[in-house]
A = this chain, B = another copy of it.
Amino acid sequence: MLLHLDFHSEIPIYQQIRNQIVLGIADGSLGVGQRLPTIRALAQEAGINMMTVSKAYQLLKQEGYIQTDRRSGAMVAPQPGAGPRAETMEALRLHLSELRLAGVGREAALELCARLYDEEG
């Protein structure tokens, strides 16, 4: 469980943690049922506040990506496949528009999307 945090980024740290765990689940490096590090361990390893890690875990739990068990900590939840969130769709619309305005053609954009979708660790 190696996190790459950028303390100079404009993305909040708790969000960076959340994003990297989501990416880890998607690319297979975090399997269903696998236990995540404890809040304390992750905070110490990354040199950040426990509250920050806690916030990330709460967010992931609320979004259904992980489950918490009082005895054994947090683990990757079976992914329900509930269909995309509205926010995800809106973000995709925006970023695909930016892609087009940046001069990326239709074919190139779709190839890029396919590559990013397929990505596995």
User: Which A residues lie at the B interface, using CB under 8 A?
Assistant: 7-8, 12-13, 19, 22-23, 25-27, 62, 65, 67-71, 79-85, 88-89, 91-104, 106, 109-110, 112-114, 116-119
Given the known interface contacts A7-B70, A67-B8, A79-B101, the answer about A118 and B106 at a Cβ–Cβ threshold of 8 Å is yes
- Which of B67, B100, B114 has a CB less than 8 Å from the CB of A26? B100
- Give the number of copies in the complex: 4
- Which of B22, B25, B80, B95 has a CB less than 8 Å from the CB of A92? B95
- Which of B80, B99, B114 has a CB less than 8 Å from the CB of A106? B114
Are A114 and B118 in contact, with the CB atoms below 8 A?
A: no
With both beta carbons as reference points, the residue of chain B lying nearest to A26 in the complex is identified as: B97
